[in-house]
Amino acid sequence: MLLTMKVAFRNILRQKKRSFLLAGAIAFGMLVITLMNALTGGVVGNIRENFSHALGGHIFIMGREWTDAGQMIMKIRPDERLEQLLEEHGAQIEGFTRRSQAMPTMIFGSRQTMQMLYGVDFAEETKLLESLIVTEGSFSEIGTEEASIILPQPVGERLGVQVGETMIIRLETLTGQQNVGEVKVVAFIKDQEELGLSAAYTSRSYLNTLLGMDPHEYQLLNMFLTDLDMVDEFARVFREGLRAEDEEEEVVEAEPAVSVTVAGMPMDPMTEREELTPWEGTRYQIMHINQIMEAVELVVGVLNRVGQVIFLILLVVTMVGITNTFRMIMIERTKEIGTMRAFGMHQKQVKNIFLWEAVFLGLLGCIAGLFLALVISFIVGGIELNTDPSMQFFLDNGKITFIFSLTKVVFNTAIVVFISLLAAYWPARAAAKMSPIKALSSHT
C-alpha cells in the first residue's frame, strides 16, 4: 500500500508541467466554489448581525390590546408571566431592552423632518450610551433633564438646531390624537443611517407621556441571546408562555399583523385593514431574527446551488481531461507497466498506482484552491469599500466578510477526490489488465 502510494506520488512529480495543469484546473474549481460558499456565508452572517443591531435584538416581543373605543393599540403593561419567563431564561439572555418608539415630526423654526425616536430607560440601558459616538454635546444632562433628546448629527444639521437649543416634536398618541412636546438637544451622535440605525433617543417616561402611556409601560421588548442557535426554541417558549387561555395558536407564516420594522418603518406595508375580533387584556406577538432571515437564506441557498452546479461543470470538464491524461499516461508507461508486472506486481497494485495518482492530483488541486481562496479572501476582506449605503447591510464595517465552513470544504474535497478517482478508474483498470508480455513487446 505504502509502496503503491510512493510510486504514485513519484509519478506525479515525473511530469510536473502536466500535473500542474491538471491540479490547476481542479484548484480553479475548488477556488470558485470555496470563495462562493465563504462569501455567501459571510453575507448571511453580516445581514443577520446588521439586522440584529438595526432591530435591536434577536427576539422581538410586542403587545397588542384593545381600547374601550374598539381601537387596537401596541403596548406592554407590566406582566408577571413575562417577568417570570425573563427570570427563568436569564442565563441564555445576553441583554434585553424595553423601549417605546414613535416616528414624530421634529420641528425647529420653519424646518421639519421625520425621525425614528426611541424612548429609552437610560439607567437600564447603559450599554446603549457606551455604543453611541458623540460628535457634539454630552450625555451628562440625560439623567437630570427628562425632556432631553439625543439626535443623529445629520438630523440636527437638517433642522439647523444646535446642542442646548429646544426643539418641538409632533406625534400622535397611541390612539391617534395629536400631541406636541418640547425637548432640549443634549448631544449629537454619529449617524448609522446606512444600517437602518438612524434613531434619536429620549427618556422612555417622557415619550410615554407624549404617547399617552404610563411611565412603566413600553412597546417593545427586544432580547439578545447568548447563542443564536437557540432563537427558534426561545421564541417558541415565549410564545407558549405568553399565550392567553382563549388565544389560538399563532400561525407565524400566516400572521397578517406581523410587520417587521426597520427604524420604525414597516417593511411590508399593510394594504388591507386587518379584521380582528377584540379580546381582553394583552396579546403578544413574538418574532425572531430567523424569520426575517428566511428570505435572505433562501436567496443564499439558490446562490450556493448555482455555485455548486458551476463547480460540478468545472469538475466534469476536468474529469474528461483527467481521463484523457491517464489514457496517455497508460500508453506512455506501457513498457514500465509490463516490467512491473514481470517483476511480480499484481494487477490490483498497478490499478492502485493510477488511482492514488488521481487522489493525489485531486488533493493537491484542492489544497492549492483552498490556499488561493484564503489568500484572495484575506486581500479582498481587508479592503474597506465606500459603497452605496444600502450595500453596507451586506458588509461588516464596510468590508466583505468570508466565512469558511469546514463541512463544505470537506464535502467539496470529497467530491473532487471521488470525481478524480472516477475519471482515472477506466484507464487504471485498462492498465492493470494489460498482459506483461504484450506490454514488454510494445513499441511505445
> Closest by alpha carbon to 158, among 96, 200, 97?
200
> How many Å from the N-terminal Cα to the C-terminal Cα in the chain?
28
Binding mask 156-175 for other proteins (x = CB under 8 A): ------------x-x-xx-x
Residues between 71 and 90 with contacts to other proteins, criterion CB under 8 A: 71
Q: Which is nearer to other proteins, 1 or 69 (CB)?
A: 69
Residues between 322 and 381 with contacts to other proteins, criterion CB under 8 A: none
Q: State the Cα–Cα distance between residues 187 and 140, nearest whole angstrom.
A: 9
Sequence-distant (6+) residues with CB within 8 A of 105 are: 112, 113, 114, 169, 170, 171
386 φ, ψ to 5°?
-100, 70
3-class secondary structure, 134 = strand
Select from 51-59, 63-71, 343-351, 363-371 the region that touches other proteins (CB under 8 A): 63-71
> Closest by alpha carbon to 354, among 2, 93, 12?
12
Q: Which is nearer to other proteins, 257 or 385 (CB)?
A: 257
* CA dihedral angle for residue 419, residue 421, residue 424, residue 425, rounded to 10 degrees: -110
Q: State the Cα–Cα distance between residues 201 and 211, nearest whole angstrom.
A: 15
Q: Which is nearer to other proteins, 178 or 386 (CB)?
A: 178
Select from 38-46, 78-86, 106-114, 116-124 the region that touches other proteins (CB under 8 A): 106-114
Contact between 277 and other proteins by CB under 8 A: the answer reads no
Residues between 180 and 219 with contacts to other proteins, criterion CB under 8 A: 180-181, 210, 212
Q: Please, what is the minimum distance in Å from the beta carbon of residue 114 to other proteins?
A: 11
Q: State the Cα–Cα distance between residues 128 and 97, nearest whole angstrom.
A: 10
Q: Are 42 and 403 in contact (CB under 8 A)?
A: yes
Sequence-distant (6+) residues with CB within 8 A of 215 are: 204, 205, 208, 209
Q: State the Cα–Cα distance between residues 250 and 223, nearest whole angstrom.
A: 20
3-class secondary structure, 301 = helix
Interface residue with other proteins among 273, 295, 406, 443 (CB under 8 A) is 273
Contact between 114 and other proteins by CB under 8 A: the answer reads no
Q: Please, what is the minimum distance in Å from the beta carbon of residue 269 to other proteins?
A: 7
Contact between 270 and other proteins by CB under 8 A: the answer reads yes
Which position has the grid cell 490556499?
371
Select from 130-138, 176-184, 294-302, 413-421 the region that touches other proteins (CB under 8 A): 176-184
Binding mask 123-162 for other proteins (x = CB under 8 A): ----------------------------------------
Q: How far is CA 374 from CA 22, 262, 293, 377, 400, in A?
A: 21, 35, 27, 5, 13
> Closest by alpha carbon to 334, among 441, 203, 225, 196?
441
Q: Please, what is the minimum distance in Å from the beta carbon of residue 173 to other proteins?
A: 6
Q: Which is nearer to other proteins, 173 or 323 (CB)?
A: 173
3-class secondary structure, 135 = strand
Contact between 112 and other proteins by CB under 8 A: the answer reads yes
Query: What does 302-337 look like in DSSP terms, one character per residue?
Result: HHHHHHHHHHHHHHHHHHHHHHHHHHHHHHHTHHHH
Q: Which is nearer to other proteins, 95 or 212 (CB)?
A: 212
Kindly state the number of chain residues that form the binding site for other proteins, as judged by CB under 8 A. 26
Select from 30-38, 107-115, 227-235, 409-417 the region that touches other proteins (CB under 8 A): 107-115
Q: Please, what is the minimum distance in Å from the beta carbon of residue 122 to other proteins?
A: 22
Contact between 119 and other proteins by CB under 8 A: the answer reads no
Q: Please, what is the minimum distance in Å from the beta carbon of residue 92 to other proteins?
A: 39
Sequence-distant (6+) residues with CB within 8 A of 400 are: 39, 42, 380, 381, 383, 385
Q: Are 181 and 147 in contact (CB under 8 A)?
A: yes
Q: Are 159 and 113 in contact (CB under 8 A)?
A: yes
- Residue 162, C-alpha cell as written in the block: 444646535
Q: Which is nearer to other proteins, 84 or 177 (CB)?
A: 177
Q: State the Cα–Cα distance between residues 292 and 50, nearest whole angstrom.
A: 12
Q: Which is nearer to other proteins, 69 or 406 (CB)?
A: 69
Q: Please, what is the minimum distance in Å from the beta carbon of residue 180 to other proteins?
A: 4
Contact between 178 and other proteins by CB under 8 A: the answer reads yes
Q: Please, what is the minimum distance in Å from the beta carbon of residue 261 to other proteins?
A: 17
Q: State the Cα–Cα distance between residues 298 and 313, nearest whole angstrom.
A: 23
Q: Please, what is the minimum distance in Å from the beta carbon of residue 111 to other proteins?
A: 6
Contact between 107 and other proteins by CB under 8 A: the answer reads yes
Interface residue with other proteins among 1, 2, 13, 69 (CB under 8 A) is 69
Interface residue with other proteins among 176, 343, 390, 406 (CB under 8 A) is 176
Q: Which is nearer to other proteins, 109 or 301 (CB)?
A: 109
Residues at the site binding other proteins, with contacts judged by CB under 8 A:
67, 69, 71, 107, 109-112, 168, 170, 172-173, 175-181, 210, 212, 269-273
